[in-house]
Structure 1
Amino acid sequence: MSETFAPSSRPFDLLVAGEINPDLILNGDVEPAFGQVEKCVDSATLTIGSSSVIFACGAARLGLRVAFIGKCGDDLFGRYMLEAMQERGIDTRAVIQIPDGHTGMSVILNRGSDRAILTYPGLIAALSADDIPDDLLGQARHLHIASYFLQTALQPGLPDLFRRARRLGLTTSLDPNYDPGASWQGIRDLLALTDVFLPNQTEACALTGTDDPAKAARTLGKQTGTVAVKMGTQGALGVQGEVMAHAPALTVPVVDTVGAGDSFDAGFLYGYLQGWTLERCLRLGAVCGSLSTRTAGGTAAQPTLAEALGFLEREK
């Protein structure tokens, strides 16, 4: 089985339409308290943030040709993000910089396997479907959307965007991420237009009203093409038609779980675009997600394809 893509007439394997923001990650076993209480953390790291960008970095690290469209300010954080993306081989020519705009930012208090997140939206929500022209879509094989609930300007036009993408021959994927409003509205209307749906366990169960991830996956699988449910240390399970499969997570020293689900998505979609079986896609996703937790931030420990395949073969 080939591990690399056959030549394609389209210049990009993936087009990612998403939010752009850095993360300030604070590590320590502390809990903030008001009343001017000062507490110390163990470390602080400014790094690449946003589910969409972390995914794009993971996909590029695996060797996929990735283009990105989103909006950011022509400010310190915006320039930092664009330079970091370009250094990782992501084509950012379609990114729209707003001269007087403010790039969003997330402050993450990381405490082992759990974390609290405060996000300043800035331009995170500003991208709309009308900003994504057909000639850009037509340059890619696959369209990926993440952070659905944060990208409020994109939401109304997303069904039509997915229809346009499909008419142009692209497959589509969606990672909803968490809904800050806990309403979970809008996702169900998109499932029929989504080829790969990539929720985590909490999101899948909230969308289906069950606490059983396997049942949630089966329910979602009846509404979309392929479902992969991320379950942290329990690995991942997927449904594709009548097939259900499971892949375990790797046992690695966990430093930071930020972006692990996005790295999983990158691995899963690499396999999906290769035409791999559901189980093998899940296994590569689990390898990529697990390995990404070895250092602080979502991108520093993302594996190359050779490294990921080495672990994949070892786990047979």
Structure 2
Amino acid sequence: MSADGVGAVDVLVVGDANPDLLLTGDTVPRFGQAEQLLDTADLLLGGSASIVACGLARLGVTTALAAVVGSDRFGSFVLDELRAAGVDVSAVSVDDAVPTGLSVVLSEPHDRAILTLPGTIPSLAAEAVREAVERLRPRHVHVASYFLQPGLAASLPELLSWLAEHGITVSLDTNWDPSERWSGLQEVLRRVDVFLPNREEALAIAAAVTGSVPAGLEEASSALSELGCRVVVKAGAEGGIAFEGGARVAASPGLRVEVVDTTGAGDSFDAGYLAALAAGVADEEERLRWAATAGSLSVRGRGGTAAQATRDELLLPIP
């Protein structure tokens, strides 16, 4: 384990750390040995947890990441990018036997498809998170990419109870479930403070948790918030919507910006919301404004971290 950084941090982000191979242009594959020409190809820092951590650091929040990478070129790339962004990587372990995970992102202006090699992504264990918490003493823990880490997911209810006993608040962004079963979340959501799904995830998870298909986003998010967590939905151009105790409590619109790439916009939204929590922002609508602004501004550049918002940009009034 790296020796970078010792001491308290505001937020410990837990989850995936991998490169994204981002492709744009004629990205819809045609089989039959057809050769297609791309516009661009870039190797960029990826992984929901990594992008959230970088977004938080850029917003001035002291941030550490708990994850696993391989002892290969991709692993070195990930660690270098995280360090350059100001993220404490002392809780990122290096596995000599398993390659670093990798995502290939087929990106179009308003949508994308993602092909992921798990590699080391599922290797993070709950015990490693406990050790990081005891050493780094975060005020908040954010868990990302739940469905890519089945081992951690199985231990998560117990880990969340332990965090609560230590007075540490927790947020969760499951991201997409590759199996589309969306199972195992009911006991987890009862133990998190903030749940941060996007619209499609909220609908699918509500159906899995309640056993019935919700009529729409309001019904789905209300049902999820009745489990005891605050549900903060990423609603694309509509910005963010918050639900507590079965009711909608706040909303804030996104910004109108020229879209270059939507990769990681939801993760930057998470970073904006968590930065508001770390700053002690009490008003939910204002926290949503931070989140929606951070998510919107992130689409100005290619990849998840190139155009993430600064604190100064976040505090500017919406034009």
The TM tier, using the shorter chain, reads: over 0.9
1:277 corresponds in structure 2 to 283
Q: Which moved more, 1:257-266 or 1:268-277?
A: 268-277
CA positional deviation for 1:211: 4.8
2:75 corresponds in structure 1 to 78
Would you say 1:239 and 2:236 are equivalent positions? no
Measure, in 2, the Cα distance between the counterparts of 1:276 and 1:302.
23
Q: How does 1:151-300 map to 2 (within 5 A)?
A: 151-208=149-206, 209-241=213-245, 242=247, 244-273=249-278, 274-300=280-306
Identical pairs, percent: 43
Measure, in 1, the Cα distance between the counterparts of 2:168 and 2:27.
45
Q: Give 1:302's match in structure 2, choosing from 298, 308, 312.
A: 308
Q: Which moved more, 1:81-90 or 1:127-136?
A: 127-136
Calculate the TM-score normalised by the size of structure 2.
Answer: 0.92
Conserved? CA contact 1:125–1:153, under 8 Å:
yes
CA positional deviation for 1:213: 1.2
Q: Give 1:45's match in structure 2, choosing from 42, 46, 62.
A: 42
2:140 corresponds in structure 1 to 142
Give the counterpart letter for 2:275 in structure 1.
Y
CA positional deviation for 1:179: 0.6
1:5 corresponds in structure 2 to none
1:3 corresponds in structure 2 to none
Conserved? CA contact 1:196–1:224, under 8 Å:
no
Measure, in 2, the Cα distance between the counterparts of 1:134 and 1:292.
32
Change (3 A) 1:34 1:74: same
Q: Give 1:107's match in structure 2, choosing from 81, 101, 104.
A: 104
**What is the total number of aligned residue pairs between the two structures?**
304
Give the counterpart letter for 1:16 in structure 2.
V
**3-state DSSP of counterpart to 1:108:** strand
Change (3 A) 1:211 1:298: farther
2:63 corresponds in structure 1 to 66
The unaligned stretches of length 5 or more in structure 2 are 1-6, 207-212
**3-state DSSP of counterpart to 1:119:** strand
Give the counterpart letter for 2:155 in structure 1.
G
Conserved? CA contact 1:30–1:41, under 8 Å:
yes
CA positional deviation for 1:224: 2.5
2:209 corresponds in structure 1 to none
Conserved? CA contact 1:232–1:249, under 8 Å:
yes
1:4 corresponds in structure 2 to none
The unaligned stretches of length 5 or more in structure 1 are 1-9
Conserved? CA contact 2:161–2:191, under 8 Å:
yes
CA positional deviation for 1:30: 3.7
Measure, in 2, the Cα distance between the counterparts of 1:62 and 1:286.
14
Measure, in 2, the Cα distance between the counterparts of 1:34 and 1:159.
43
Measure, in 1, the Cα distance between the counterparts of 2:83 and 2:132.
21
**3-state DSSP of counterpart to 1:250:** coil
Q: Which runs of 4+ in 1 moved over 6 A?
A: none
CA positional deviation for 1:245: 1.3
CA positional deviation for 1:135: 6.1
CA positional deviation for 1:246: 1.4
Calculate the TM-score normalised by the size of structure 1.
Answer: 0.93
Measure, in 2, the Cα distance between the counterparts of 1:140 and 1:93.
13
Q: Give 2:9's match in structure 1, choosing from 1, 12, 21.
A: 12
Measure, in 2, the Cα distance between the counterparts of 1:284 and 1:196.
15
Change (3 A) 1:300 1:211: farther
Conserved? CA contact 1:176–1:187, under 8 Å:
no
Change (3 A) 1:89 1:114: same
Backbone CA RMSD of aligned residues: 1.4
1:88 corresponds in structure 2 to 85
Measure, in 2, the Cα distance between the counterparts of 1:253 and 1:297.
15
Measure, in 1, the Cα distance between the counterparts of 2:266 and 2:254.
12
Change (3 A) 1:46 1:152: same
CA positional deviation for 1:227: 1.0
